[in-house]
Amino acid sequence: MSSAFAEAFLLIGSFDASLAGIIALSLKVSLSAVLLASAIGLPLGAALAVARFPGRQALIVALNALMGLPPVVVGLVVYLLLSRAGPLGEFGLLFTPRAMVIAQTLLVLPIIAALARQAVEDAWREYEEQLRSLGVAEFDAALTLLWDIRFSLLTAVLAGLGRASAEVGAVMIVGGNIDGVTRVMTTAIALETSKGDLPLALALGMVLIAIVLALNAAATLLKEAAERRYG
Amino acid sequence: MNRRSILPLRLEGVCFGARGRTIIDRVSVELDSGPSTIILGANGAGKSVLMRICHGLLAPTAGTVRWSASQRAGGARRQAMVFQRPVMLRRSALANVGYALAFAGVPTGEREPLALEALESVGLAHLAQRPARVLSGGEQQRLALARAWALHPEVLFLDEPTASLDPGATREIEAVIRAFDAAGTKIVMATHNLGQARRIGDEVLFLHQGRLAERTPVERFFSHPASAEAEAFIRGELPWTLGNGGSR
């Protein structure tokens, strides 16, 4: 067991090329998915926080429930959509990194939108009278709030990133874990563990945790600096 | 500016209720330019709600609120409100005033000079680049007044603007309110500070349990209130404003 750890550290230290490729693809897929999901989810959450329409409460409940979407189910749905016989089959996206980005975007979107909705709604409670007094319409108010609490929204984005980088099920199903093409850290860990190559699995696991930790630390520092600066 | 004035403001039979409770009960009143109007009344008498109805933040459940001219002429609302707790955006003091100007339809290039002038008029020009949220409570309230000042409103509503401020900051706020008055802005203010009511106001609207109990010039209100409720209120409130403790 301890020798597995030692070998894992050696692997990280030697900076194996295939290891680096797996890490790079993981980051590329998860960061793209989070970027896309943020571009859609943050405005969506803000709109849902500010707008009043029939069925709003039901939509919020549904959105919150979708936060717990099982990755394998998302993977299955995207698989059906992208498979040769599926409605989007002609694009030939299945078993490509793009398919993995699509699946992770769908997986992460409800998380980012739901958390943004909550944060913007809390801010709206504080700002509403003042903004309406200034004659700011709902749509502009939503944009104003998004910008004003942008550093708090980092938390929502980070939650999405945590989910995306940690999940195996969706990328496994739509990516296929093809060596050198669609193999990412989580699918590699699952594979190496089942093969019995514990040092490589451990090395990947440690890198994954280190990356997530570093991103969270950077975000926390940024948020604190912003709070000191802007109050 | 020779646009038609939005004043007088006419309220007719205005009622407001929430969760089965009547907060404003058949208030009819006409507010015209000129005298500064102070709204007095005990906690829960409906002062804040009445001002929010006038300002358009709340819709009355019955009755009508009518301004004499359209509110949206030229994009600006021509009325402003300063709240007990100022709400500032996470940007500089100057940008907060500029934000209000943007939504009042002022073109981009004209905003900054107008915003700076407004900050100067409340004595905050030296803090223009400071993030608004790190200013002190008194400074933030003056910034809220600068934001209103930049809009050149015909009517300024103030909801207990000094309730959470110390005496020094209160004096500064009152000076700015008097400047608004001198510039021809109609002042409508709710306050708990009877000294302040005397210093700023020309007339008092006294609310009791959501009804307009009386409307009296300010000096007569304190010496000879017309209603029994107002008399009881002054007797109850004055010892408290003199600092004899919270015996209410």
pLDDT in tens, B176-202: 999 999 999 999 999 988 999 999 999
Residue-wise pLDDT tens digits, B127-150: 999 999 999 999 999 999 999 999
Question: 3-state class of A5 per DSSP?
Answer: helix
Nearest to A183 by CA among A5, A29, A11: A29
- Spatial CA neighbour of A215 closest among A173, A154, A167, A174: A154
By the CB < 8 Å criterion, does A52 face chain B?
no
Q: Which two tokens stand for residue B237?
A: 């409130």
User: Within an 8 Å CB–CB cutoff, is residue B178 touching chain A?
Assistant: no
pLDDT score at A1? 64
ipTM of the complex: 0.89
pLDDT in tens, A159-199: 999 999 999 999 999 999 999 999 999 999 999 999 999 98
Average pLDDT of chain A to the nearest whole number: 92
Any chain A CB within 8 A of the CB of B77? yes
* φ/ψ of residue B215, rounded to 5: -135, 115
Q: B70-87: per-residue pLDDT in tens?
A: 766 444 578 999 999 999
Contact with chain A for residue B80, Cβ under 8 A: yes
CB contact under 8 A, B134 and A231: yes
Q: Which residues of A181-216 are buried (b: 16+ CB within 10 A; e: fewer)?
A: ebbbbbbbbbbbeeeeebbbbbbbbebbeebbeebe
- Which residue(s) pair with B186 in the sheet? B155
CA-CA distance, A152 to A138, in Å (whole number)? 21
> Is the Cβ–Cβ distance between B152 and B75 less than 8 Å?
no
Which ranges of B133-248 does DSSP label H, i.e. alpha helix? 137-150, 167-182, 194-200, 218-223, 228-241
CB contact under 8 A, B103 and A136: yes
The C-alpha atoms of residue B178 and residue B200 are separated, in whole angstroms, by 7
Q: Look up the pTM and report it.
A: 0.86
Q: Is the predicted pLDDT of residue B155 greater than 90, yes or no?
A: yes
Backbone phi, then psi, for B214, in 5-degree steps? -165, 160
At residue A134 the predicted structure's pLDDT band, cuts being 50, 70 and 90, is very high
Of B77, B189, B185, the C-alpha closest to A131 is: B77
CA A153 to chain B, closest CA, distance in angstroms equals: 14
A230 contact B CB<8A = yes
Q: Are B116 and B94 in contact (CB under 8 A)?
A: yes
Q: Shortest CB distance from A132 goes to which of B57, B80, B133?
A: B57
Q: Which domains does chain A have, with CATH numbers?
A: 2-225 (1.10.3720.10)
Q: How far apart are CA A27 and CA A24, in angstroms?
A: 5
Cβ-Cβ contacts under 8 Å, B83 against chain A: 129-130, 133
Q: Beta B62-66 vs B37-40: how paired, if at all?
A: unpaired
Q: Does A133 touch chain B (CB under 8 A)?
A: yes
Q: What is the mean pLDDT of residues A16-31?
A: 90
Domains of chain B, first to last = 9-70+81-87+153-241 (3.40.50.300)
Chain B residues close to A136, C-beta within 8 Å? 103
Q: Whole-angstrom Cα distance, residue B187 to residue B35?
A: 8
H or E element in which residue A161 lies: helix A150-166
C-beta of residue A186 within 8 angstroms of C-beta of residue A168: yes
**Is A89 a residue whose pLDDT tops 60?**
yes
pLDDT number for residue B26 = 93
- Residues A102-114: tens digit of each pLDDT: 999 999 999 999 9
* Half-sphere exposure of residue A183: CA atoms within 13 angstroms, side-chain side: 15
- Which of B103, B130, B145, B147 is the best substitution to test chain A (most A C-beta atoms within 10 A)? B103
Q: Which residue has the higher pLDDT, A5 or B120?
A: B120
| Inter-CA distances, B204 with A31, B40, B176, Å | 62, 7, 20
> Which residues of chain B neighbour A149 with C-beta distances below 8 Å?
90
Q: Token pair for residue B174?
A: 């009152």
In contact, B91 and B46? CB cutoff 8 Å: no
Are the beta carbons of A134 and B134 separated by less than 8 Å? no
